[in-house]
Structure 1
Amino acid sequence: MTIPYPTTFVPSASVTPPSGAARPRLTFLGCGYLGATYAICYAELGYEVIGYDVDVAKIENLSRGEVPFHEPGLDELLRRNVASGRLRFTTSIEETADFGDVHFICVGTPQRSDGMGADLRYVEASVTDLAKNLSRRALIVGKSTVPVGTAEWVERLVEKHTSEELGVEVAWSPEFLQEGFAVEDVLRPNRIVVGVKTEWSNALLYAAHKGVFDLASTEDREVPVVVTDFATAELVKVAANAFLATKISFINAMAEVCEVAGGDVTQLAKAIGYDPRIGNRFLQAGVGFGGGCLPKDIRAFQARAQELGAGEALRFLHEVDLINLRRRARVLHLAAELLDRRQGPAGPDLAGARVAVLGATFKPNSDDVRDAPALAVAGMLHEAGADVRVYDPQGIDNARKAHPELTFEKSLQEAVAEADLVCVLTEWAEFRNADPAALAAIVGKRLVIDGRNCLDASAWSAAGWTYRGLGRP
């Protein structure tokens, strides 16, 4: 049987970038978190790069050397590479099309407003606008997380809007960025996956990644590469996210059992994590996962499987989603228990209680509050009547836009001052390392909910706090 795609990822001496440059010129369409991070890091690897976006303010900020989101280490790389001239940003699709040999599609694929599926309007717009302005051969590479089948659809869009003589091709190479570690994930990836159909696209895409391989060779590392078909390349990212979400919800389901059985989920996770078949990563029970990827990706995966007639195969992801959302409500009910408040049919009544919420972002080392469990819980506490005071080291500005009804403080101390209850909901180092004795002196009541099981329970108890961790006795 003939495999309809190249099986190895190797250079070809006969492939020269269509621009005639020594190395492929790269463009990244969509300068949000994904596109901007890749554009900056690939310029750092020595490539000539253009970042394109329709958002004028975003492009102006990046051109001034200002990253419009928080990602450790990225600001310095941006300033250095803009100054070097290797990196620039534009709102001109004509300039982008004329410049690039390899065009990476990095636009958002949010959940549709009318269902669980992915909204591909931004993918369609960026590919269409780019294709209409191409005047020579180029490779268009998808990086956005998309439903399986999107790459073939993108091929049809390209065929519709370019002349056949140009020979424009499509490939797919999913991203695997972890917010807070994205610079390392781009420069030192734990794997590269490419879906290609021809040796030309394979060789050009290899050349576009050569900087990664060169860096790895200087550090005596290997970068695993999987060369595969379009469908498999598209499925890798959503399958990985579905697996991680399932693992997180599994340990949170165990937390629910521990709470009624009197067990300790942190000890349970530690014990099963020693099993090499399971591992200890993503076994931290708490308020669950959030962010701009996992929640919408597992929902879009279910929706696409249903469209393909394989909905039964992913039915379990619905329960994964429900378990995740239940953990947020658990914090609300635990708050009512600690504050000795009535829990009626409409939910707990926390009127008059002052609650400090520590954390607004979905994870530490980020300013991303999209579908953040911490912020969702803060909103639920507010709706229950509590006077909620929120503090986060990086996410306050974004959180205030999402929840203007909440009160935001400038410091940890201001947030907990006179609080009847403290809820730690994002595991920032500042919260993990806080002195419980010092905080005990300024709160109203020494009650704490550890929504991430990230605090030293014995130290907090010794300082006079009533400590409750999710899934712990």
Structure 2
Amino acid sequence: MKMSVIGCGYLGAVHAAAMASLGHEVVGIDVDPAKIESLAAGKAPFYEPGLPELLTENHETGQLRFSTDVSEVKGYGIHFIGVGTPQRRDGAGADLTYVDAAVEGLLPHLSPGDLVVGKSTVPVGTAERLATLIEPTGAELAWNPEFLREGFAVKDTIEPDRLVYGVRSQRAVDLLDEVYAQAMSHDTPRIVTDYATAELVKTAANAFLATKISFINAMAEIAESTGADVTQLADAIGHDVRIGRKFLNAGVGFGGGCLPKDIRAFAARAEEIGRGESVAFLKEVDAINLRRRQRVIDLVKEVLGGSAYQRRVTVLGLAFKPDSDDIRDSPALDVAVQLHGLGADVVAWDPQAVDNARAAHPQLAFASGIDEALEGAEAVVLATEWPQFRDLDPASTAAQVASPVVIDGRNVLDPEAWRAAGWTYRGLGRP
């Protein structure tokens, strides 16, 4: 099939490359010339495993190309919208500037029978509004939310765990089935529904995951006041099939470009439609999440005798999660910045996110590798659970630091092993 992807950021670039790998002819459109030049050269402007290979392979076959000229979508029957919906600067709601601009840019180039497919995460009611703009051209709108996990986005696009179609016609269903023919051949669950439900699926899923993470972090707060072990608590309740163990890992909390801004936008939209009380709990979910960052900072001050001022603190991790260079709303980076603000001599390192963090916060000191980061540390904060941090040998690591003190911000280290090697170990919600 011939399709365009409007917006070549994280969502759009991955979707364009993945669709091309499935045999479709794809043109990716973005207003940023530098981004388009990078993608056309097979270089992803962000870190995502497997994406550079797809870009290069499909560029060479001619299945995939990129342009800044939106008129090049003419003649392509399906148009995916994959632009960002960040949090508004003047409130908690979603900023739909890029979505609106994408649709407005498409309108002059649509032909009767074209299908515009929204993939961006938007407040409920957005698709209905956009459909009134698109339908007069003879084209049709569908909403097909994405469920990508950073670090696994290529796989999640090619082999989705479910497909959701918000549509108004069987023709739209048939076209989307053709787009996702490979997934359909593997019996991927497919939900065909209306616009509003399709929009709510993504926001509800993110709200549920955020709530589950903040629930176990709330239990960590209780554990810290009672001497209980939140990790064992999570193991115990996770055996209940109604609860499950996934996303019950207490720590410094969630971040990234989705969960934080999506739960805020969901709560803001609920207020707009007069149902704010229905998701009022999301404000506490957000508050719990932010409190865990402060708890890590408090632990650093505690192990350093009450103050981090002019004390050398190593922060391992800057991305909001491993297998990513994304620093948006990253708890790890926030902890590093706040410690620096307290006068600590902060040295940070991350396998992928140093360049992004340096651009955003040049006041921080960044190491060139893990050994340099650890040298002379009076306290080590594990803030992102990269494998190379999880697998550190406590005995040899103790010889690299000035003082063997570790704050396990992700509860991924073995407390007994680290204490046996002479470390002062502090976790979140652990004795």
TM-score (norm 2): 0.99
Aligned 8 A contact 1:171 1:195 in 2: yes
Q: Report what 2:32 is aligned to.
A: 55
Q: Are positions 1:186 and 2:157 aligned together?
A: yes
Q: Are positions 1:31 and 2:19 aligned together?
A: no
Q: After the TM superposition, which residues 310-325 of structure 1 pair with which residues of structure 2 at under 5 Å, given as runs? A: 310-325=275-290
Q: Report what 1:12 is aligned to.
A: none
Residue by residue over 1:166-186, the C-alpha shift from the partner in whole angstroms, topping out at 9 and shown as x without a partner, is 521001000000001111101
Identity of aligned residues (%): 59
Q: Report what 1:471 is aligned to.
A: 429
Q: After the TM superposition, which residues 343-362 of structure 1 pair with which residues of structure 2 at under 5 Å, given as runs? A: 349-362=307-320
Query: Equivalents in 2 of 1:119, 1:466: separation in Å?
Result: 45
Q: Are positions 1:413 and 2:371 aligned together?
A: yes
Q: Which runs of 5+ in 1 are unaligned?
A: 1-23, 217-221, 342-348
Q: Report what 1:5 is aligned to.
A: none
Deviation at 1:202, TM superposition (A): 1.6
- Counterpart of 1:170 in 2: which secondary structure? strand
CA RMSD in angstroms comes to 0.9
Query: Equivalents in 1 of 2:426, 2:387: separation in Å?
Result: 19
Q: Report what 1:14 is aligned to.
A: none
- Counterpart of 1:27 in 2: which secondary structure? strand
Query: Which of these residues, 200, 203, 212, is aligned with residue 174 of structure 2?
Result: 203
Q: Which amino acid aligns with 2:226?
A: A
Deviation at 1:157, TM superposition (A): 2.2
Q: Are positions 1:173 and 2:144 aligned together?
A: yes
Q: Report what 1:270 is aligned to.
A: 235
Query: Equivalents in 2 of 1:212, 1:101: separation in Å?
Result: 20
Q: Report what 1:85 is aligned to.
A: 62
Aligned 8 A contact 1:102 1:205 in 2: no
Aligned 8 A contact 2:177 2:184 in 1: no
- Counterpart of 2:180 in 1: which secondary structure? helix
Q: Report what 1:252 is aligned to.
A: 217
Q: Report what 1:157 is aligned to.
A: 133
Q: Report what 1:385 is aligned to.
A: 343
Query: Equivalents in 2 of 1:29, 1:168: separation in Å?
Result: 16
Q: Report what 1:399 is aligned to.
A: 357
TM-score (norm 1): 0.90
Query: Which of these residues, 79, 82, 91, is aligned with residue 103 of structure 1?
Result: 79
Residue by residue over 1:7-60, the C-alpha shift from the partner in whole angstroms, topping out at 9 and shown as x without a partner, is xxxxxxxxxxxxxxxxx3111110000000011011111111111100000000
Deviation at 1:212, TM superposition (A): 2.7
Aligned 8 A contact 1:46 1:211 in 2: no
Query: Equivalents in 2 of 1:134, 1:232: separation in Å?
Result: 26
Deviation at 1:136, TM superposition (A): 4.3
Deviation at 1:200, TM superposition (A): 1.7
Query: Equivalents in 2 of 1:460, 1:87: separation in Å?
Result: 49
Q: Report what 1:423 is aligned to.
A: 381
Query: Equivalents in 2 of 1:176, 1:407: separation in Å?
Result: 35
Aligned 8 A contact 1:128 1:158 in 2: no
Aligned 8 A contact 1:195 1:229 in 2: yes
Residue by residue over 1:64-101, the C-alpha shift from the partner in whole angstroms, topping out at 9 and shown as x without a partner, is 010111111111111101000001111110002x1421
Query: Which of these residues, 435, 439, 442, is aligned with residue 397 of structure 2?
Result: 439
Query: Equivalents in 2 of 1:380, 1:110: separation in Å?
Result: 23
Query: Which of these residues, 71, 89, 95, is aligned with residue 94 of structure 1?
Result: 71
Query: Equivalents in 1 of 2:182, 2:105: separation in Å?
Result: 28
Q: Which runs of 5+ in 2 are unaligned?
A: none
Query: Equivalents in 2 of 1:74, 1:212: separation in Å?
Result: 19
Q: Are positions 1:461 and 2:426 aligned together?
A: no
Aligned 8 A contact 1:298 1:317 in 2: yes
Q: Are positions 1:74 and 2:32 aligned together?
A: no
Q: Report what 1:3 is aligned to.
A: none
- Counterpart of 1:431 in 2: which secondary structure? helix
The alignment covers a number of residue pairs equal to: 431
Query: Equivalents in 2 of 1:432, 1:135: separation in Å?
Result: 53
Query: Equivalents in 1 of 2:45, 2:113: separation in Å?
Result: 33
Q: Are positions 1:282 and 2:247 aligned together?
A: yes
Q: Report what 2:262 is aligned to.
A: 297
Q: Which amino acid aligns with 2:9?
A: G
Aligned 8 A contact 1:354 1:421 in 2: yes
Aligned 8 A contact 1:45 1:212 in 2: no
